[in-house]
Amino acid sequence: MTETLDVTTCVIGAGPVGATLATTLAAAGLPTAVLDRAPLPPMELPDFDGRAYAIARTSQRLLDAAGIWARLPGAPQPIHRILVRDSRPGARPSRLGLDFDAAEVAEGQPFGWMVEARALRLALNAALPGQPKLHAFAPATARVTRRPAGVEVQVEGGPLIRARLVVGAEGRQSPLRAAAGIGVTQWDYGQIGMVGAFAHERPHQGAALEMFLPNGPFAQLPLAGPGHFGTAEMPHASAYVWSERTALARRFLALDDDRFGAELARRLGGHLGRIRPIGRRWSYPLSALWAQRFTDLRLALVGDAAHGIHPIAGQGLNLGFRDVAALAEVVIEAVSAGEDPGTPTVLGRYQARARPDAMLMLGATHALERLFSNNIAPVRLARRLGIAAVNHMPGLKRAFAERAMGVKPGQAGLLGGQGLMRLG
């Protein structure tokens, strides 16, 4: 006889967004299930693999409320300064730059934190079994059936899960989105994003650098240390997110570490001294994705299943976390009020909260990529003058900084640091 498991929400996909949503709902006291095709432990590797996330202040509040932040295996690196420059590979950056200092525009609080991908996975894997209301199945495959009365998720070789709502958190190729007939609009940037890390000679002082180059942006992001990476000569480390035209990126990815490091140094400049690549190199084609809607019959999409943006502002994962906060709050509020969280009315509230924010971020990153990823002389001069002008406008500068942190005036709920409403 097949075992039956009754839950409020079943999340398909246990990546950072899906696992955070499942943990948040369970921490609030709602019976929740989460499934993933892959097992959870593979990210629990002993060695740094080169990947890290920039976690905005509001995302940190969400992770803290869900009990995930406290489970990080080490202290993350705060970002105290953000430097924005326009340049060309091998050339001195323009002196007309934009500098954000947390002491000036963020009330002394960090803009965000750099967290190793491995560390976040360790925290999520520790949090999942710590919630008595949470049932995790991984690796697992399942058949999902959505009906007006509810959802049935038949786990292969496991229980039949009955839920009020199913959430698609399976990434850009979301099978749930495809099965619902939700179309997507996509834009190919003709670029490849290269992600990794490097050890360096001089301390980064908690500063991040965003360098706008003709073929795409290059970001240096500070990692925790010193002494945790590299050698005695290069005890410090930073992550890089490097967007490059596809043909050139493929050539660079084929280089050995010494020559690849030389190309990194040409884009970075000499402010960190000598550098050396560490960990793996990761790469992926860059494109934008926009789902025509975020909901369907007893279905909600979150994260990359709903939208994908250019990494020019480092906001992809943070945008997914904002989906998590919006959906979690809507579901918790509905259950608290005695409503069915899978009804069109409740799901409409989620879409109304999440979709405009995602559209604004998609439009902003697309516009930035179009404006800065070119080498047209008049445009280059105009954007350098524009960057310099913003640097002398405290109000506008603060507005840009708050957007990067995800902060809004009068912000409430999980992103505002008000904690989690717990039921039962």
- List, run by run, the mean pLDDT of 10-residue segments along the chain (424 residues): 90 96 97 92 56 92 96 93 83 73 78 91 90 94 97 96 98 97 96 94 94 88 75 87 95 96 93 92 94 98 96 86 97 97 98 93 78 61 60 61 66 84 81
Q: Tell me the domain boundaries of the chain.
A: 4-186+288-416
Rounded Cα gap, residues 285 and 107, in angstroms:
37
Residue 165 β-bridge partners: 9
Would you say 183 and 212 are in contact if contact means Cβ atoms under 8 Å apart? no
Beta strands in 13-157 (DSSP E): 32-35, 52-56, 77-79, 81-86, 98-101, 112-116, 134-137, 142-147, 150-155
74 exposed, middle or buried (CB, 10 Å; 0-12, 13-18, 19+)?
exposed
Q: Give residue 97's pLDDT.
A: 72
Q: For residue 204, give both structure tokens.
A: 């980064």
Q: Which of 238, 218, 414 is nearest to 333 (CA)?
A: 414
42 exposed, middle or buried (CB, 10 Å; 0-12, 13-18, 19+)?
exposed
Rounded Cα gap, residues 366 and 303, in angstroms:
17
Which residues lie below 8 Å from residue 26, measured CB to CB, with a gap of 6+? 32, 131, 132, 133, 134
Farthest-apart Cα atoms in the chain, separation: 72
Q: Give residue 49's pLDDT.
A: 65
pTM above 0.85, yes or no: yes
**To which residue do tokens 């069109």 refer?**
344
Q: Give residue 381's pLDDT.
A: 58
Would you say 94 and 87 are in contact if contact means Cβ atoms under 8 Å apart? yes
Amino acid at the residue 61:
R
Q: Give residue 115's pLDDT.
A: 94
Q: Give residue 424's pLDDT.
A: 67
Q: Which CATH number fits domain 4-186+288-416: 3.30.428.10, 3.10.50.40, 3.50.50.60, 3.40.50.2000?
A: 3.50.50.60
Rounded Cα gap, residues 136 and 327, in angstroms:
19
* Beta pairing class for 275-291 and 307-308: antiparallel
Q: What is the CB neighbour count within 10 angstroms for residue 104?
A: 14
Q: Give residue 136's pLDDT.
A: 95
Rounded Cα gap, residues 346 and 300, in angstroms:
10
Rounded Cα gap, residues 48 and 228, in angstroms:
10
* Beta pairing class for 160-168 and 299-301: parallel
Would you say 57 and 407 are in contact if contact means Cβ atoms under 8 Å apart? yes
